């Protein structure tokens, strides 16, 4: 359910006030809209860990001043609507409004279902994806032309399943999947075997293929041949090729259900466990070196070049 | 050591407090919020005083100060002050601190040969010497007395006569003869109920603080001693410390026109640290410890060079960590002619030298916390209570201090009394605890 015009207007007013208080940039992201500023007691009463706090936890440790502020805006459409409303407010104000449109950025989740832009430098979210990612790698394009970012993997949850996180799942959190200690390599094969049953992928198969055409070993005839070729190649792949295949899978196949099936070893309630694991994964991305190829650290590195 | 649960039925601003700090949560950092006057600082100080002071007689005056205004209604003989559930090495320890009046002692299984009216916490409080003498024989006490007597007689300024001293000693021994079996009897009755008398004090009535314990086969004193080493408190120096005496606390509210008044309060805080070893105020920055850290790192790297022929990495790593603590400054050791490190200096990007005392409030606070947590506190499973940690930090640092604390003392549990929403967002909502405001009495 997207924001009504009144809700959108009120939300933008809140963000404008926030942007006038904060020195750093404001990044609009997906997630339930909760209060932007608040009291300790109100934060405690939130039933779920805000999505924005995952991104906040990912901010690199080297970014010590004027750190970006993430503001949840609802679903993908809401994020885009909010961004353009803020830009309009800055452009259309007759009197000096104190709104600095250069402060506003947005990050949206990649999906197989595209969203068309009515008045932006690219036509839709798929074109935005192609702009930022080539062969699955983040491209640091000119930040002054593009203020809307898109994740390189399908939904932010895909970032919870990248291969480099295996040590975190082994040592700091004991994560179980199907009552067994989580083994990501095994999970990727389970995911690949389910490609044919992924209705969203079947519907948007040509678009998915467009994202993976740099992988010559895959057979894009149909979903079944893609599934088969992925599995065969994966089993005999060397390290760099294997990594490419995993990232390819996480670019086209919805992972939320797998993430939901993660369970803790301990008695800790599952929801609490997931929140804490999310926070720890954010910490993992925040500690990546400057030359990291992980998408999120690259995103922050690009953002940090923006001067206000 | 982990504090798993604290319950305080009623103490000053606190009412029906029951907070759980889940031992399986990651990270072990728990903000505690409340509106102003909710009792966050009181709670931290109560936890610290009970757990840090109970095992040590010289710290008992702080307990008595803390409990300055408590009373027990006439219809009761005891009232629970606080209950703690702790984990030590995976084993649960339960401690219950109860305030008791004389009526409580009189209900104990005391030998009827003793006059019930004499059974009072007053005998504990009045006769420290009596308690200490329990462990000694008559012969040992006589020997001590004659040693003291000889010392007094040889002191030309002594105003007491030998006859007076002998008379005092004789009276004390008579008192001991009567009270020793009684005190032993009371202690035995308490131990039979898994209880231990921590201290006694006068707060409008004779009161005693008794600790009930369960969950460990260890001796209660051993448990309390072990806990006292692992519990730490840090807070601003302008805080009202309830464990100081009434006179000392009043200094904070006297006119600041007389500089002596504010000095006296600070002096009292500093004096308290002689006994309260695990207490830090944020304004203290241990330059000596920092110098020692840099020197050790340098020596270690030199040893690595001698042993392996390659430079060590300890020194650059320490310097890198220290550089990250200030906003934009670089740390340099100050050397004397013989290359001994005699201090530290911070260089600004413009090349100006800044000494530790010239750093901003926030920078100094981060440095002092770094030195305290990383270098002074033993790297162990400690419980670290921190009050108003966000003061002096801008919003970015309020958020990143959570990560810093984990980095500087990885095995600690942190309980942070705070008003900072920003700080809380570095954790999950379930990490955040709340103290409800006590209803206003009509």
Q: Can you give the residue ranges of every domain in chain B?
A: 2-104+194-278, 127-192, 284-358
Residue A36 pLDDT: 62
Provide mean pLDDT across the span B342-350. 87
Reported as a pLDDT band with limits 50, 70 and 90, residue B325 is: confident
Alpha-carbon distance values, B142 to A133, B148, B152, B155, B172 (Å): 90, 10, 15, 20, 11
Contact check, Cβ <8 Å, B430/A272:
yes
- Residues 6 or more apart whose CB falls under 8 angstroms from that of A217 comprise A229, A233, A241
Residue of A nearest to B437 (CA): A41
Q: Does A94 touch chain B if contact means CB atoms closer than 8 Å? A: no
Residue A93 pLDDT: 66
User: A24, A32, A36, A41: which to substitute to probe chain B, counting the most B Cβ within 10 Å?
Assistant: A41
Cα-only R_g, chain A: 20
Contacts of A46 in chain B (CB under 8 A): 429
**Chain B contacts to A (CB-CB under 8 A):** 22, 24-26, 31, 33-35, 324, 327, 395-396, 399-400, 403, 418-421, 424-430, 432-434
- On the question of pLDDT at A308 being above 70, the answer is no
Note whether A290 and A63 are within 8 A (CB).
no
* Most confident region among A226-235, A259-268, B324-333 by mean pLDDT: A226-235
Residue of A37, A266, A283 with shortest CB distance to B421: A37
Alpha-carbon distance values, B273 to A272, B60, B266, B286 (Å): 39, 14, 11, 14
**Domain ranges (residues) in chain A:** 5-155+279-304, 162-254
Closest alpha carbon to A161 in A188, A199, A143, A123? A188
Contact check, Cβ <8 Å, A40/B324:
no
- On the question of pLDDT at A101 being above 90, the answer is no
Contact check, Cβ <8 Å, A49/B34:
no
Reported as a pLDDT band with limits 50, 70 and 90, residue A51 is: confident
Residue of B25, B418, B430 with shortest CB distance to A40: B418
Distance from A79 to chain B by nearest Cα, in Å? 21
Alpha-carbon distance values, B108 to A169, B187, B193, B200, B207 (Å): 55, 10, 9, 17, 15
Q: Which of A94-98, A147-151, B336-340 has the lowest mean pLDDT?
A: A94-98
Distance from A190 to chain B by nearest Cα, in Å? 29
Work out how many CB contacts closer than 8 A connect A with B. 79
* Most confident region among A177-186, B107-116, B331-340 by mean pLDDT: A177-186
> B286: how many CB neighbours lie within 10 A of its CB?
17
- On the question of pLDDT at B263 being above 90, the answer is no
Contacts of B399 in chain A (CB under 8 A): 56, 67
Question: What whole-number distance in Å separates Cα of residue B314 and Cα of residue B303?
Answer: 11
Contacts of A268 in chain B (CB under 8 A): 22, 24-25
Residue of B400, B403, B424 with shortest CB distance to A40: B424
Question: What whole-number distance in Å separates Cα of residue B17 and Cα of residue A299?
Answer: 44
Residue of B33, B396, B430 with shortest CB distance to A41: B33
Residue of B25, B34, B429 with shortest CB distance to A46: B429
Note whether B357 and B394 are within 8 A (CB).
no
User: A40, A284, A289: which to substitute to probe chain B, counting the most B Cβ within 10 Å?
Assistant: A40
Residue A91 pLDDT: 83
Q: Which of A189-193, A258-262, B255-259 has the lowest mean pLDDT?
A: B255-259
Edge-to-edge strand order for the sheet containing B279-281? B279-281, B231-235, B383-387, B413-417, B29-33, B433-434
- On the question of pLDDT at A86 being above 90, the answer is yes
Question: What whole-number distance in Å separates Cα of residue B390 and Cα of residue B401?
Answer: 8
Provide mean pLDDT across the span B315-336. 86
- Residues 6 or more apart whose CB falls under 8 angstroms from that of A2 comprise A74, A75, A77, A78, A81
Q: Which of A73-82, B291-300, B427-436 has the lowest mean pLDDT?
A: B291-300
- Supply the ipTM of this predicted assembly: 0.91
Residue-averaged pLDDT of chain B? 88
Contact check, Cβ <8 Å, A272/B428:
yes
> A95: how many CB neighbours lie within 10 A of its CB?
5
Provide mean pLDDT across the span B179-183. 82
Structure tokens at A261: 């099936």
Provide mean pLDDT across the span A82-86. 94
Domain covering B2-104+194-278, topology: Rossmann fold (3.40.50)
């Amino acid at each position: 359910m997207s924001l009504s015009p009144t809700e959108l207007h009120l939300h933008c007013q809140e963000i404008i006030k926030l942007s006038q208080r904060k020195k750093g940039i404001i990044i609009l992201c997906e997630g339930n809209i909760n209060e932007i500023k608040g009291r300790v007691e109100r934060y405690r009463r939130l039933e779920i860990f805000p999505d924005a706090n995952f991104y906040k936890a990912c901010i690199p440790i080297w970014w010590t001043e004027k750190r970006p502020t993430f503001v949840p805006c609802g679903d993908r459409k809401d994020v885009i609507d909010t961004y353009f409303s803020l830009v309009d407010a800055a452009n259309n104000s007759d009197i000096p409004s104190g709104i600095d449109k250069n402060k506003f950025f947005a990050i949206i989740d990649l999906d197989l279902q595209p969203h068309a832009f009515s008045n932006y430098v690219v036509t839709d979210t798929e074109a935005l994806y192609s702009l930022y990612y080539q062969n699955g790698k983040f491209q640091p394009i000119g930040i002054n032309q593009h203020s809307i970012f898109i994740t390189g993997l399908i939904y932010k949850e895909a970032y919870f399943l990248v291969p480099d996180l295996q040590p975190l799942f082994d040592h700091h959190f004991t994560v179980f999947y199907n009552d067994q200690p989580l083994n990501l390599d095994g999970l990727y094969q389970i995911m690949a075997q389910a490609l044919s049953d992924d209705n969203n992928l079947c519907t948007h198969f040509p678009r998915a293929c467009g994202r993976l055409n740099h992988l010559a070993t895959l057979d894009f005839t149909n979903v079944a041949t893609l599934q088969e070729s992925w599995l065969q190649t994966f089993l005999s792949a060397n390290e760099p090729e294997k990594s490419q295949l995993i990232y390819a899978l996480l670019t086209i196949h919805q992972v939320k259900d797998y993430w939901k099936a993660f369970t803790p070893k301990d008695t800790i309630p599952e929801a609490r466990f997931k929140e804490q694991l999310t926070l720890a994964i954010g910490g993992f991305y925040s500690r990546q070196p400057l030359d990291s190829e992980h998408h999120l650290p690259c995103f922050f590195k690009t953002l940090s070049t923006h001067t206000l | 050591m982990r504090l798993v649960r604290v319950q305080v039925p009623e103490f000053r601003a606190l009412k029906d407090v029951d907070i759980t700090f889940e031992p399986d949560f990651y990270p072990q950092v728990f903000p505690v919020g409340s509106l102003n006057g909710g009792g966050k600082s009181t709670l931290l100080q109560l936890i610290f005083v009970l757990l840090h002071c109970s095992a040590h007689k010289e710290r008992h005056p702080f307990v008595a100060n803390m409990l300055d205004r408590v009373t027990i209604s006439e219809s009761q003989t005891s009232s629970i002050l606080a209950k703690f559930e702790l984990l030590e090495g995976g084993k649960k320890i339960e401690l219950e601190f109860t305030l008791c009046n004389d009526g409580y002692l009189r209900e104990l299984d005391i030998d009827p040969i003793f006059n019930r009216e004499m059974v009072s916490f007053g005998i504990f409080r009045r006769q420290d010497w009596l308690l200490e003498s329990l462990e000694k024989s008559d012969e040992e006490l006589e020997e001590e007395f004659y040693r003291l007597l000889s010392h007094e007689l040889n002191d030309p300024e002594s105003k007491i006569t030998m006859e007076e001293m002998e008379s005092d000693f004789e009276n004390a021994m008579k008192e001991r003869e009567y009270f020793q079996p009684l005190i032993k009897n009371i202690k035995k009755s308490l131990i039979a109920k898994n209880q231990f008398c921590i201290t006694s004090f006068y707060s409008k009535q004779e009161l005693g603080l008794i600790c009930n314990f369960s969950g460990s086969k260890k001796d209660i004193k051993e448990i309390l001693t072990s806990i006292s080493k692992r519990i730490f408190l840090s807070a601003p120096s302008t805080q009202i410390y309830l464990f100081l005496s009434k006179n000392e606390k009043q200094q904070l509210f006297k006119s600041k026109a007389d500089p002596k008044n504010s000095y006296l309060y600070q002096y009292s805080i500093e004096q308290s640290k002689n006994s309260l070893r695990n207490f830090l105020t944020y304004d203290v920055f241990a330059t000596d410890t920092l110098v020692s850290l840099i020197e050790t790192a340098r020596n270690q790297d030199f040893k690595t060079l001698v042993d392996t022929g390659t430079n060590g990495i300890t020194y650059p790593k320490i310097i890198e960590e220290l550089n990250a603590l200030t906003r934009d400054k670089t740390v340099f050791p100050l050397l004397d002619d013989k290359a001994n490190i005699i201090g530290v200096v911070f260089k600004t990007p413009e090349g100006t030298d800044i000494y530790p005392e010239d750093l901003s409030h926030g920078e100094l606070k981060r440095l002092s916390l770094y030195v305290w947590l990383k270098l002074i506190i033993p790297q162990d499973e400690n419980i670290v209570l921190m009050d108003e940690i966000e003061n002096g930090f801008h919003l970015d640092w309020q958020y990143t201090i959570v990560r810093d604390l984990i980095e500087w003392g990885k095995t600690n549990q942190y309980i942070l009394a705070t008003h900072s929403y920003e700080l809380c967002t570095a954790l999950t909502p379930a990490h955040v605890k709340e103290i409800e405001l006590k209803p206003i009495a009509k």
